[in-house]
Each structure stands twice: as C-alpha cells, then as structure tokens.
Chain A
C-alpha cells in the first residue's frame, strides 16, 4: 500500500517535470527577440507593442487625402461608399489602440502595410477628433493613445474565459 502511494507520487512528479523540461521533439527554431519584433504586428489594448512615432488630427486630415482614404470613405470619412468612419462604427469600439491596429494592418485597402507609424498615429487622431473623442490639439503617441477614453469602454464585457472548459454550456443558451 505504501509502495503504491509512493509509486503514484513518483508518476505524478515525473509528469510535472516532463512538462517543465520543455522541448521534447527538438523541432522548430528558437526565435530571437529581433525576429519576434519584426514578425509581430498585433497591438493589444494596453498598446505595449506600439512603435515610436506621433501625430495630430491636423496632420491626419492631410494624410487622409494624400493616402487615398477619401477615395473609398469619402472626402471627410462620412460619405462612403466604404464604412462611415464618423458616427457609429469605430466610434463604438472599446479601445483606441484597436483603431490604430486596424488602420496599420488593413488600410488602405489593397495597399495594406504601406503606412508609416507617424501616418497611422495622425490618421487615428484625425478620426478620433472627427468623432469628438479627442481634442484637435491632442498629440497621439505610444503613451497617450492607450489612455484615450472610448465612450463604449464600459460596455465591453471581459469574457469569462477562466471558466471556459470543454463541455461548458453556452452563455447564449435559449430555453424554448
């Protein structure tokens, strides 16, 4: 009985160490910090990954025309034909960093990834100002952008993921 208990403990311990030991297949190459930085494009709600740079609404207004955003979103961003950028839409997003991230990765459509960090800060400032979320003179950069208070910030419900496990019933279960 004692031996059995000991055996169980040994097995349990070896399982833990196997986990902690790390690479077991010796496949894949360890990425350097530099490789991670160039590969990664995502910017989280805290804005930790934001690059150096800055911009204002006035600069953004010029970039909006120079970079052809007007071509799809209209002369001031609210005429279309592409989604209206003033009133509703992005004004309802819970984080300002998300607007930066989306313009940076996905706009201008068909020329994605062509904007400089300064241009993206300026465009974000222009759109936030047009939506009356920041002042005309506000400068957006690595530190100020994550602090912008979006009106919908309080409506965002952090998903209860800590509780998610296989077989969890959906929060949207409808009782017929």
Chain B
C-alpha cells in the first residue's frame, strides 16, 4: 500500500519536472494540459507553424512517459504462422535492424519470440521465483526481495535460434531481426544459488516460465554460476511484458531460448531435463546424434545498404552493420563489395562489449556498377563467420537443402549474408 503511494508521488514529481524541461513555467499537470490544448491542433498546418503543432493525444501523458515524434514510423514486423502449424498464433516479431542506429535496441523494438504464447499479465506483487531441487534450502523470492539484492547491469544481445538466412527474406529484419541488444539489470543467479546452497553433485539448472505452456529449458550449472542473471530491468525500466515482465532469466551468449521469460522456477538438477525445447526443437540433429548448441558463433550482417533499399546516387556511401558473438567480444569485421574476392577491415564503434551488438562501418564509393556486399565477423576466441556453403557442409547438407529447410542439422545459422547491388542501385537478397 505504502509502496503504491510512493510511486504515485514520484509520478507527479516527474510530470512537473517534464513540464519545466519543456519550457513551461507552472508545474501542475492540468495547467500544462490546458496550455498545450491551446496550441494549433494536430494535422493542420503542422509542418509550417514555427514552433511545430501539438501532435494528437493527451499532452500530459505524452510528457509523463515520452512518445517518439509522430513523423517516425519504424515498427516491428509480425509473422503470423500459417494456420496449419500454430493456429494463427503470433510466432515472431522482428527488430527492424535496417532502421536502427548505434548498437542499443530501443525497448519498444526488441524482437519477440515465444512459440505463440500470449504474454501473461503478471501482477508483480504476487509473482514468486522458487529456487529448488538439489539445494540445501529451497527458497522463494518476491520481486521486491530480488530488487534488494546486489544489482548487476549488463549490455548484451539475445538472438533467437531461428535467426537464419532465408531465400524469401526481402528485408534484413525478416531473416536477421530476431536479435536485439539492450541493457539488462537484475541479480546474478549465482547469488540466489549460493543463498540456497547448491549441492556438490548438481550439474544443471532447469528454468521454467509462467506462460500457459510453462515451457522449460535446461542450462549447465557452470554457466548459471558464471554470468546468468535474473533480470527485472530492461534499458533502465521494468522489462516489457512481451519480454518477460516481471522477471526474466538471461543466459549471455547462449541461444535465446535459454533466457526463459516470466521465470517462476529454477530447479537445480544433476542432468538436463529433456523437455520440448530440448527434444522437439533447439537440439540440432547432426549425423552424429541429438546435441545441444549452447553458445552462438561469430555473426554479422550489413544493415545499410540491405535488401529492399535503394542507392540513389553514385559516390560516397557508408556501409553499416552489426556484429556479435556468443563467445565474447567481436575482434574484427571485414567487408567485401566484390562477393568475397577481396576484404577490407571495417571500423568498430566502441565500446566493444562481450556478447553485445557491435556497430561496424566502412566508407564506400559506389561507381554505379553491380556489386556484392558481404561482412565477416571474427570473435575473440578466433571463430570466423562461415559462408552458407561452409556452414551447410559442416551439417552434412547443401546450401539449397538448408535454405529449403529440408536439411537435418542446425536451425540456426551464423553464415555470411550477401546483398546484391544492381546497376540501378536497387539492393536484393543474394543468398544461395
């Protein structure tokens, strides 16, 4: 109860601060609203009026919780799986990589993949996280208690295991947009595990979410004790519902299926629990058998220029893209404009953080001729991003089989994405 009052007071204070920042003298929210309503209304002469016109909507709300300019239209794209598989459930929501600058993904544009489960509407005061299994003391934490424990923040990328080159992708986000990079804040899972007292013969954790199917995923205990996080914060505020509100397990560098959303239980075990996320999906069936993937490899993609975009003139263009690796820091990104015959090292925009999106750039003079743009990432473990042909061969398949989805082996691919440039400046997906 007192908590509720406090946050409300905080809200009012913020609202008046915002109005001061906006150059409006008197601090009460209703006064601000009245003033803003006197401004010319939206849509009329907006562009030409010197101070700009008020956009539609409640101005108080707009300042109390910021809204981007109505002239900005970037949105996540949705992928509703055909009826035959998932009954029209929303399967993928893509980060529009082609529209982003820098290396931090805006919270509103973070990709979402949850096997079609609707984000549960969780009341944070009634949510609990249980740590149990092979521990001395099973413990139950409230969200509020977790927030009182030592806090850690970490900028890191997440990438869905289904992020892979596609024939049919007409834009970069449609085959690479299931990755994003934000700052997560929470308590290290190792803190909670030590509080519970992990038994010496324990080797795994099994994390469980609160969505309708309560999906589980197994992660090695050594990884959980190393750098896994129970997060409540995302880019400085509470995690968005579709990304795990109020709590999410984060497993840096591992395929994002390990980062269980709406996490309600961490069970400490001596073996992986072979659930749907281990057996039906997310374990590559290579010629040797069914195996776990864990960390993702060195990967990069050119986001500008990329398929669907258009070069409108010859001369200077800055080639821009993102690189990342589950193995640590990006150490080098090379760019080719001639389909891989020659490579030039791109500049990396710092800070170059481990397991985080890293922006790279390379100046390029387009001479009006056909070109083939590619990028290749090397990480600090020395892993080099492969071509699709090399990747497919590793999994005992051809590129065509892999692209058609008929190849056995990994669903994920960190292979190089080529973008073709036509003489008219149009860019197309040249994966083959």
A62 to chain B, nearest CB (A): 24
A124 to chain B, nearest CB (A): 14
Q: Which residues of A contact B273 (CB under 8 A)?
A: 42-45, 101
Residues 52-92 of chain B: 1 if any A CB is under 8 Å from the residue's CB, otherwise 0? 00000000000000000000000000000001110100000
Q: Which of A8-16, A26-34, A52-60, A131-139 contacts B (4 or more CB under 8 A)?
A: A26-34
Q: Which residues of B contact A94 (CB under 8 A)?
A: 274, 279, 290
B199 to chain A, nearest CB (A): 12
Task: Given A42-B267, A152-B290, check contact A172 B410 (CB 8 Å).
Answer: yes
- Dominant SS at the A interface? loop
Is B18 in the interface zone, CB < 8 Å from A?
A: no
Q: Are B267 and A172 within 8 A (Cβ)?
A: no
Compute how far the CA of A80 lies from the CA of B290 in the bound complex, rounded to whole angstroms.
Answer: 25
Is B140 in the interface zone, CB < 8 Å from A?
A: yes
Q: Are A28 and B195 within 8 A (Cβ)?
A: yes
Task: Given A89-B280, A159-B272, check contact A24 B195 (CB 8 Å).
Answer: yes
Interface residues on B, range: 35 or more
B208 to chain A, nearest CB (A): 6
Total interface residues on A, CB under 8 Å, equals 61
Please name the residue on chain A nearest to B204 by beta carbon. A161
Q: Which of B221, B264, B276, B284 contacts A98 (CB 8 A)?
A: B276
Compute how far the CA of A173 lies from the CA of B279 in the bound complex, rounded to whole angstroms.
Answer: 22
Q: Which residues of A contact B271 (CB under 8 A)?
A: 44-46, 158
Compute how far the CA of A38 lies from the CA of B172 in the bound complex, rounded to whole angstroms.
Answer: 45
Compute how far the CA of A23 lies from the CA of B197 in the bound complex, rounded to whole angstroms.
Answer: 8
B321 to chain A, nearest CB (A): 19
Q: Which residues of B contact A42 (CB under 8 A)?
A: 206, 208, 216, 265, 267, 273, 275
Q: Which of B110-149 contact A (CB under 8 A)?
A: 130-132, 136-141, 145, 148-149
Task: Given A72-B87, A90-B280, A109-B87, check contact A23 B195 (CB 8 Å).
Answer: yes
Task: Given A155-B290, A164-B223, check contact A102 B275 (CB 8 Å).
Answer: yes
Is A7 in the interface zone, CB < 8 Å from B?
A: no
Q: Which of B357-374 contact A (CB under 8 A)?
A: none
Residues 104-127 of chain A: 1 if any B CB is under 8 Å from the residue's CB, otherwise 0? 011001101100000000000000
Is B422 in the interface zone, CB < 8 Å from A?
A: no
B263 to chain A, nearest CB (A): 13
Compute how far the CA of A173 lies from the CA of B206 in the bound complex, rounded to whole angstroms.
Answer: 26
Q: Are A44 and B269 within 8 A (Cβ)?
A: yes
Q: Which residues of B contact A170 (CB under 8 A)?
A: 294-295, 297, 326-327, 381, 383
Is B237 in the interface zone, CB < 8 Å from A?
A: no
Residues 155-170 of chain A: 1 if any B CB is under 8 Å from the residue's CB, otherwise 0? 1111101101111111
Compute how far the CA of A35 lies from the CA of B286 in the bound complex, rounded to whole angstroms.
Answer: 41
Is A51 in the interface zone, CB < 8 Å from B?
A: no
Compute how far the CA of A159 lies from the CA of B191 in the bound complex, rounded to whole angstroms.
Answer: 25
Is B292 in the interface zone, CB < 8 Å from A?
A: yes
B368 to chain A, nearest CB (A): 31
Q: Are B275 and A98 within 8 A (Cβ)?
A: yes
Compute how far the CA of A19 lies from the CA of B197 in the bound complex, rounded to whole angstroms.
Answer: 8
Q: Are A36 and B130 within 8 A (Cβ)?
A: yes
Is B220 in the interface zone, CB < 8 Å from A?
A: yes
Q: Which of B132, B215, B391 contacts A39 (CB 8 A)?
A: B132
B272 to chain A, nearest CB (A): 7
Q: Which of A46-81 contact B (CB under 8 A)?
A: 46, 72, 80-81
Q: Which of A19, A43, A81, A168 contacts B84 (CB 8 A)?
A: A81
Is B390 in the interface zone, CB < 8 Å from A?
A: yes
A174 to chain B, nearest CB (A): 4
Is A83 in the interface zone, CB < 8 Å from B?
A: yes
Q: Which of B87, B195, B206 contacts A22 (CB 8 A)?
A: B195
Q: Are B292 and A159 within 8 A (Cβ)?
A: yes
Is A144 in the interface zone, CB < 8 Å from B?
A: no
Compute how far the CA of A164 lies from the CA of B274 in the bound complex, rounded to whole angstroms.
Answer: 19
Compute how far the CA of A72 lies from the CA of B212 in the bound complex, rounded to whole angstroms.
Answer: 17
Compute how far the CA of A169 lies from the CA of B381 in the bound complex, rounded to whole angstroms.
Answer: 7
Q: Are B132 and A40 within 8 A (Cβ)?
A: yes
Compute how far the CA of A152 lies from the CA of B273 in the bound complex, rounded to whole angstroms.
Answer: 16
Is A82 in the interface zone, CB < 8 Å from B?
A: yes
Is B13 in the interface zone, CB < 8 Å from A?
A: no
A9 to chain B, nearest CB (A): 22
Compute how far the CA of A164 lies from the CA of B295 in the bound complex, rounded to whole angstroms.
Answer: 10
Compute how far the CA of A95 lies from the CA of B280 in the bound complex, rounded to whole angstroms.
Answer: 11
Q: Which residues of B contact A28 (CB under 8 A)?
A: 131, 139-141, 145, 192, 195
Q: Are A172 and B297 within 8 A (Cβ)?
A: yes
Compute how far the CA of A123 lies from the CA of B206 in the bound complex, rounded to whole angstroms.
Answer: 25
A28 to chain B, nearest CB (A): 4
Compute how far the CA of A17 lies from the CA of B164 in the bound complex, rounded to whole angstroms.
Answer: 48
A26 to chain B, nearest CB (A): 9
Counting from the closest, the 10 A-B pairs by CB-CB distance are A106-B213, A161-B220, A31-B138, A81-B84, A28-B139, A155-B289, A159-B292, A174-B386, A93-B279, A28-B141
Instruction: A44-B274, A45-B271 are known; give 8 further A-B pairs, CB within 8 A.
Output: A27-B141, A28-B145, A39-B132, A44-B269, A80-B84, A98-B274, A98-B276, A110-B212
Would you list 5 pairs from A and B whose C-beta atoms are within 8 A, ordered by A residue? Answer: A24-B194, A31-B140, A35-B138, A95-B274, A170-B326
